[in-house]
Structure 1
Amino acid sequence: MSQIDIFEAKSSTPEYVAAVNRLLKQLCSSPCEMSAERLQRIVEEHNSRLLLLAVDGEVMGMCTLGFYTSPTGCKAWMEDLVVDETCRGMHLGERLFNFAADFAEHEGYDTLMLTSRPARVAANRMYQKLGLGRKETNVCLKVKSPSQPSPSGRA
């Protein structure tokens, strides 16, 4: 039986960077790569948590939690939930989701939200099985062009 551990990344290590990039290739439909610097930024920010799932010591899944408070409540967003394709069907996505949901609740957040592309059929089936409801909304997106400087000086 495999040893499953889920934990918060507290530092940027070459192992974590490699694992995150391997998982991003499986998650993203367009090329996406994370640097050691960006991973370090995530682990240093108080409103972001990178949760990693390890199978027998090897990182095989991840998700990110982002936290904020608004006039309508304390909210957490879950992003980039992915389990390595070699481990799918082992219910690790459910375990990672439940760990993240419990983590957010323990931190005092009363609403957990996520988005999932319709093409991610298995993931959407899992979310329904876990009791997540759908929110009728439009998601609008504005992405900074590479030539625009960031107002905060962040990359």
Structure 2
Amino acid sequence: MELSLLTPSDIDPETENQIHTLFKQLNAVIVPLSLKIILDPKNPAIVACCTLENQIVGVAVMAEYSVISGRKGWIEDVVVDEAHRGKGIGRKLMEFLINEGGQKGLYEILLFTAYHRKPAHQLYQNLGFQKKESQIYTLKL
């Protein structure tokens, strides 16, 4: 098992296909953005990948942003291939991103997870994330 940050030079059609196929296990409705857009230097986001035998089996993305209350990270699109769940890959991806956030001097890391993803809730709580007493609203444009 190898954990790494995806770089623009890593992007090729096979990598793009593997990550988009994996993302469909998380959300089959959303059409994923190109990795070139995600890893554009103007977009402050990092993509952590877990690879087993040249196959990407897990991915997690953290966007960074600065607001009056501090420099923050927001984790999204965490998915582990169904065939490899329960092996600690999600935990390793999250720990990897948390470590990256610490190195970048982030004040806080936030994340969103759907109410029905019970194993993910347990993982995030075990990693020290606490449920924030707030409301999240969305406006699709």
TM-score of the superposed pair, with normalisation by structure 1 = 0.84
- The superposition leaves residues 49-79 of structure 1 with CA deviations (integer Å, 9 ceiling, x where unpaired) of 1111111221111011100111111100000
Q: Pick from 3, 7, 26: which aligns with 1:6?
A: 3
Q: Percent identity?
A: 25
RMSD: 1.3
Confirm whether residue 64 of structure 1 aligns to residue 61 of structure 2: yes
Structure 1: gaps of 5 or more residues: 145-155
TM-score of the superposed pair, with normalisation by structure 2 = 0.91
Q: Secondary structure at the match of 2:131?
A: coil
Using CA pairs under 8 Å that are at least 6 residues apart, name the structure with larger relative contact order, 1 or 2. 2
Alignment of 1:1-155 (within 5 A): 4-11=1-8, 12-28=11-27, 30-34=28-32, 38-46=34-42, 47-144=44-141
Structure 2: gaps of 5 or more residues: none
- The superposition leaves residues 84-143 of structure 1 with CA deviations (integer Å, 9 ceiling, x where unpaired) of 011111011000000010011111112010011110011111111212111011111111
Moved over 6 A (4+): none
Larger radius of gyration, structure 1 or 2? Answer: 1
How many pairs are equivalent?
Answer: 138
